């Protein structure tokens, strides 16, 4: 069965991608995941300068998933661009986080000449001030950022989440500004308190909930976007098996991202490809696009 799909102008051999923030920034790991069936890999979100992030504890189990508030720790876009130069032949969708159009464009230019099929804009981190949701909740700013990057001649994927305003307004702004696709959704702002100490379990207090608990929310968002907008959607949130991935495709997604589950099972991409291939054969589908049209 044909597992190839196309999203944001990128041809993927399979529909499952590595989500941003998972399995670090190792080019060797990225290469192995691509060889094992990942359709694409997305880097950790990169800022203009290195960030240390928050002190531990930054992760905790919660509600069958994970709470995290890492604080966007990363080596910085310039350092990661140098890492890519030292590992040719590994295409990476680069995730960027920033606060204004000039910052995003200057970071994107660091990757000129490298194998970057697209830039994913983190417009939805729920636990870092002045970036993430604070940017994504401002449709006019989203529009200016996307237009600036498109003016620089790169492909743009806007990663949207559930902030304090209508997330569909962010989707609309990104689409109207020329974004090539959107990823929906990011982690969901959440909190857990230790009843014995009376203190939050994360050093930052609140963080982002990921994993299976958010999948029904993410599927709903994908269906809402695809029923109202023409822009391609990459579904993200709680995918841990091929059935989860198929659910996103049935909701209208062109591809899916795997985050939390990939951290404990790098072989999940091959499992998803095998499961969806068998599913398509049973249903008589020859292309991924037929799954999207089935629901």
Catalytic residue numbers, as ranges: 125
- Beta-bridge partners for 256: 16, 235
Measured distance CA(122)–CA(30) in Å, rounded: 19
Measured distance CA(203)–CA(197) in Å, rounded: 13
Measured distance CA(53)–CA(207) in Å, rounded: 12
Closest CA to 182 of 154, 216, 163, 156: 156
- Beta-bridge partners for 120: 95, 157
Q: Residue 290, by phi and psi: left (phi above 0), alpha (psi -120 to 50) or beta?
A: alpha
């Amino acid at each position: 069965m044909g597992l190839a799909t196309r999203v944001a102008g990128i041809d993927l051999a399979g529909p499952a991608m590595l989500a941003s923030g998972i399995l670090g920034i190792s080019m060797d790991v990225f290469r192995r995941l691509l060889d094992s069936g990942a359709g694409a890999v997305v880097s950790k979100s990169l800022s203009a300068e290195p960030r240390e992030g928050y002190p531990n504890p930054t992760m905790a189990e919660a509600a069958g998933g994970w709470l995290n508030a890492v604080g966007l720790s990363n080596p910085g876009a310039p350092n990661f661009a140098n890492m890519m130069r030292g590992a040719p032949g590994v295409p990476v969708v680069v995730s960027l986080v920033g606060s204004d159009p000039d910052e995003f464009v200057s970071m994107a230019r660091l990757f000129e000449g490298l194998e970057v099929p697209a830039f994913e804009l983190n417009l939805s981190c729920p636990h870092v001030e002045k970036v993430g949701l604070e940017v994504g909740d401002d449709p006019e700013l989203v529009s200016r950022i996307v237009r600036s990057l498109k003016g620089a001649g790169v492909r743009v994927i806007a990663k949207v989440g559930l902030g304090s305003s209508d997330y569909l307004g962010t989707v609309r702004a990104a689409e109207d500004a020329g974004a090539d696709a959107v990823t929906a959704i990011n982690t969901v702002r959440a909190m857990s308190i230790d009843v014995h100490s009376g203190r939050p379990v994360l050093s930052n207090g609140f963080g982002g909930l990921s994993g299976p608990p958010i999948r029904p929310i993410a599927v709903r968002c994908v269906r809402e976007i695809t029923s109202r907008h023409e822009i391609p959607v990459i579904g993200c949130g709680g995918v841990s098996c091929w059935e989860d991935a198929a659910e996103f495709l049935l909701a209208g997604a062109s591809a899916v991202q795997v985050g939390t589950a990939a951290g404990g099972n790098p072989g999940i991409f091959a499992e998803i490809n095998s499961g969806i291939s068998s599913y398509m054969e049973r249903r008589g589908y020859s292309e991924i696009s037929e799954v999207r049209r089935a629901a």
